Amino acid sequence: RLDVAAKLARRLGVRVRQDVVHAVDGVDLAIRRGEVVGLVGESGCGKSTLGRMVAGIMPPSDGAVLWRGRDLRSLSGAEAREAKLRTQMIFQDPYASLNPRLRVQDIVGEAPRVHGLVGRGEVEGYVDGQLRRAGLDPALKRRYPHQFSGGQRQRIGIARALAVQPDFLVCDEAVAALDVSIQAQILNLFMKLRRELDLTYLFISHDLGVVEHLSDRVVIMYLGRVVEEASAEAVFRRPNHPYTRALLAEVPRIEVRKRAFAGVKGEIPSPLNPPGGCHFHPRCPHAFARCRLERPVLREVAPGHRSACHLNEAT
Ligand code: SF4
C-alpha cells in the first residue's frame, strides 16, 4: 500500500531567468509506509528539488505529488494541513532554520501549541518529552540555538519536527555538515526513531556510504533523472549502472569496489545545458555512439532492480 508517492511522470522544471532548468525530469518515485529510501547523487543532480517537492514545499511545474494516493493540490484546507504536519523536512543546516531569538522550548513547543496538538498547560512537559526523544537534556530548554554544538542543533531540529507527530521525514543532507562521529550518532538516532515511531524516511545524501546502513531501497539520480533503483542490498552488492559503480568506488571503506572501478571523473555538467542522449555519456568509460543520441530508459534488470543504461539492451 503506497502511503506517500511522488508521481512526477512528465517533465518538471523550475524557471531561472529566461532558461528552464529541468531539475527533476520524468521521475516516478513511490515510497511505501515504513520504508527508508536513500536518494543519492552529486550536488546539482536534482535530489534536493525532488525532496522539496515530495515534502510539499515546492510544487512541481508539471506532474503531481500524491499523498496517501491523492494529489496534494486537490486536498481541502484541513487535509492539506494534516499532510503538511505529517511530512516534516530535516535540513543540512539546522541553525539556518532555528530562530536565533527563540529559546529551545519555544522552538519545539510553538507548532504543537498553534496546531492544538497539546493544551496550553501541557506544552512544557510535551517539549521535555520531545527533547528527550531526540537525545537532548530537557534542562537545556531555556537556552538559545547559538549555545549548542552542530550535533545538538540538529537534535533540536529533529525534536521540533517530531513535536508535530509526523509519520514521514524527508532528511536533506541531514548529517553532511557534522563530524563523522556525530554523523554516526545522528544516523543511529534516526534508526531508533524509525523503530519507536514507525517512521517513513526519504534520506537524501551525496554520499552512498551515509545511506548504506540506513536504507531499504536506494535511488540514484544523475542530472535530474533516476538512473538506478533497487534494494540497498542489490545496489551495494550488484550495482548495474556505470554511475552507481563510480559512486561506490568513492566510498572509502568499500575496498573491493574501490579496486574494481574508478571514481566519477570530471565535473557534473550544468543542468542548464545537459548533454544529449544519456546525460552521463561525457563521463562514462563505457559510452558508445548510441549513448550520445538516445536517452536510455529505466528497465528491470532483475526483480525490483531498474537501471537506465544502453548496455543492458546490448546483452
Ligand atoms: Fe554509459 Fe551509455 Fe550506459 Fe549512459 S547509456 S551509462 S553513457 S554505457
Q: Which of 8-17, 242-251, 257-266 is the least confident region?
A: 8-17
- 72, 66 Cβ separation under 8 angstroms: yes
Distance CA 133, CA 130 (A): 5
pLDDT band at residue 88 under the 50/70/90 scheme: very high
Which of the listed residues 309, 313, 315 should we mutate to test ligand 1's pocket, taking the one with most ligand atoms within 8 A of CB? Answer: 309
**Atom 3, ligand 1: which residue's CA is nearest?**
309
Q: Give me ligand 1 centre to Cα 225, in Å.
A: 13
Closest ligand 1 atom, residue 241 Cα: 6
- 241, 308 Cβ separation under 8 angstroms: yes
**Atom 7, ligand 1: which residue's CA is nearest?**
281
Q: Give me ligand 1 centre to Cα 234, in Å.
A: 19
Residue spans per domain, the chain: 239-314
pLDDT in tens, 222-253: 999 999 999 999 999 999 999 999 999 888 76
pLDDT in tens, 48-77: 999 999 998 888 888 889 988 899 989 998
Instruction: Give residue 128's pLDDT.
Output: 98
pLDDT in tens, 282-311: 999 999 999 999 999 999 999 999 999 999
Q: Give me ligand 1 centre to Cα 263, in Å.
A: 15
What separation in angstroms does the CA of 72 have from each of 30, 34, 46, 193, 289?
A: 14, 20, 20, 26, 42
H or E element that contains 90: strand 87-90
Closest ligand 1 atom, residue 281 Cα: 7
Cβ < 6 A, ligand 1 pocket: 242, 278, 280-281, 284, 286-287, 291, 296, 309-311
Distance CA 176, CA 182 (A): 10
Ramachandran category for residue 72: left, alpha or beta (phi over 0 → left; psi -120 to 50 → alpha) = alpha
pLDDT in tens, 34-55: 999 999 998 888 899 999 999 9
Average pLDDT over residues 164-187: 94
Closest ligand 1 atom, residue 290 Cα: 2
Which grid cell is 72?
496534494
